[in-house]
Amino acid sequence: MDRIIVVGTGFSGSILARRIAEECGRRVEVIEKRSHIGGNMYDEYDRHGILVQRYGPHFLNTNKYWIIEYLSGYADLYPHDAHLLSFIDGEYVQLPFNFRTLQQLVGAKRSERLLEKLRTRFAGRDRVPVFELVDSGDADISEYGTLLFEKAYRTYTAKQWGLQPEEIDRSVLERVPMAMSFDARYLNKDFQYLPKKGYAGIFRRLLSHENITVTLNTDALAHIRFDDENNMITYDGEAVELLVFTGNIDELFGLKYGRLPYRSLDIRYTYENVRSILPEEIVSYPQAPGYTRSTEYKKLTYGLDQDIPVSMIATEYPLEYDPSDERAIIPYYPVLTEASRRMYSKYVEEAERYGNIVLCGRLAEFRYYNMDVCIEHAFEKFKDISYRLNRAK
Ligand SMILES: Cc1cc2nc3c(=O)[nH]c(=O)nc-3n(C[C@H](O)[C@H](O)[C@H](O)COP(=O)(O)OP(=O)(O)OC[C@H]3O[C@@H](n4cnc5c(N)ncnc54)[C@H](O)[C@@H]3O)c2cc1C
């Protein structure tokens, strides 16, 4: 009984497969249901030579330099600060909302008093969630927070999540901040990078090891069976020593407690014979019907190798994850509500009964993980795995 199965080739599955293969010297079978590796980080060059991230734009950003060093072992990274605009009331304003946005939205004259108040009230704070402005208790700050909330936030959230802000877990709402400065970088982490030749190469290198075999186009669930009587897991009828699962946990257990809710994205591409389409690499459209944002991928690598007379934008139309709807078959964002958290706990209890399932990643753990957290978390999980495998020797 020595089969080690890793389901999924996103960061969670690929990192764990590599470390088990390299550091524990064990053979690892990696199963991926899509036709490519990399999960939602997958990118590829289109027919014009534009590097397109097929599942939405990803910016590597972290305060932990060891993560940059680790990934540098698998890719050539270059510094890149993400810049976004939001199109509100017919005008482009910077995202995150910052002091410049405030001046644009309320006018320079009115902004003077408000800026002073914000500086005093939130002294020492780099970024403050918009809902904290609303709840601040100061009439002026709260009025501005409410303006942001109503003009940008409520509509964007309703499209993105299919819910009103009041129905969504607070941790999700906290992710939309206002910068307490003129800082126009979308993210405020210390180290912000992109891989020069894209993310896919990172996964190819991670998974290229003599102890690793990768099988694509294969749904692991068609091969995994639970033997409740003997508390055993089998893959194609053979006992599994360790199952590292990074897919949807509810699907692993046949949806027995119900389907966990996810949001999906229908991403539509528009090409134009021009060098540039958008005023910035990403523009969000809180007030537009149906879609949330557009990315002009050429601008993410502009100046490196993409100076071509064609450009393209990828526009995201959020919709409910539904494996029976072609447009919505990829689970992108877990929808965190009290009910979904409760359902998730039941699945975790189910997994714990077996003792040899390691749940890792944003689907299996039903959490929104940024890449850096996802990587760090996979490292943590590896500590337990290596202890277990060494003990079994
Ligand atoms: C639109 C979007 C934008 C993002 N932008 C950023 C960003 O700018 N910066 C950042 O740090 N993070 C960003 N993230 C988060 C980042 O994508 C995740 O941290 C990371 O992709 C998580 O990797 P994972 O391995 O946990 O999951 P995934 O990448 O989803 O990998 C899971 C894999 O398991 C496979 N799988 C599932 N079920 C099965 C099965 N039954 N059989 C076989 N294979 C299966 C899937 O096909 C998939 O390949 C973004 C996420 C989204 C959705």
Phi, then psi, of 327 in degrees rounded to 5: -80, -15
Residue whose C-alpha is closest to residue 345's, from 227, 260, 231: 260
pLDDT of residue 319: 96
Q: Is the CB of 211 under 6 A from ligand 1?
A: no
Atom of ligand 1 nearest to the CA of 364: 26
From ligand 1's centre to the CA of 229, what distance in Å? 33
Pairwise pLDDT comparison (353 vs 391), residue with the higher score? 353
Atom of ligand 1 nearest to the CA of 38: 49
Q: How far apart are CA 274 and CA 286, in angstroms?
A: 26
Per the omega criterion (within 30 degrees of 0), is the bond before 96 cis?
A: yes
pLDDT digits (tens, 9 = 90+) for 178-234: 999 999 999 999 999 999 999 999 999 999 999 999 999 999 999 999 988 888 999
Contacts 24+ apart (CB under 8 A), 383-387: 384/358, 385/16, 385/19, 385/20, 385/24, 385/242, 385/244, 385/358, 386/19, 386/20, 386/23, 386/24
Q: Is the CB of 361 under 6 A from ligand 1?
A: yes
Domain regions of the chain by residue span: 3-45+55-77+196-257+334-392, 84-179, 261-328
Q: How far apart are CA 110 and CA 340, in angstroms?
A: 43
pLDDT of residue 302: 60
pLDDT of residue 180: 96
Phi, then psi, of 80 in degrees rounded to 5: -150, 115
Neighbours of 360 (CB within 10 A): 27
pLDDT digits (tens, 9 = 90+) for 43-61: 999 999 899 999 999 999 9
Q: How far apart are CA 319 and CA 325, in angstroms?
A: 10
C-alpha gyration radius of the chain: 23
Q: Look up the CATH number of domain 3-45+55-77+196-257+334-392.
A: 3.40.50.720
pLDDT of residue 304: 60
From ligand 1's centre to the CA of 247, what distance in Å? 9
Mean pLDDT of the residues in the chain: 93
Q: Which residue CA neighbors atom 2 of ligand 1 most closely?
A: 56
Q: Is the CB of 247 under 6 A from ligand 1?
A: yes
Does residue 306 surpass a pLDDT of 70? Answer: no
From ligand 1's centre to the CA of 33, what distance in Å? 13
Does residue 83 surpass a pLDDT of 90? Answer: yes
Q: Is the CB of 59 under 6 A from ligand 1?
A: yes
Atom of ligand 1 nearest to the CA of 219: 42
Q: Which residue CA neighbors atom 12 of ligand 1 most closely?
A: 370
How many CA atoms within 13 Å lie on the side-chain side of 278?
26
pLDDT of residue 308: 83
Residue 164's pLDDT band (boundaries 50, 70, 90)?
confident
pLDDT of residue 18: 98
Residue 158's pLDDT band (boundaries 50, 70, 90)?
confident
Q: Is the CB of 29 under 6 A from ligand 1?
A: no
% of the chain exceeding 90 in pLDDT = 82
What does each C-alpha distance from 125 to 105, 131, 243 come to in angstroms? 22, 15, 43
Residue 378's pLDDT band (boundaries 50, 70, 90)?
very high
From ligand 1's centre to the CA of 277, what distance in Å? 28
Pairwise pLDDT comparison (226 vs 174), residue with the higher score? 226
pLDDT digits (tens, 9 = 90+) for 320-349: 999 999 999 999 999 988 999 999 999 999
Atom of ligand 1 nearest to the CA of 13: 25
Q: Assess contact for 96 and 178: CB atoms under 8 A.
A: yes
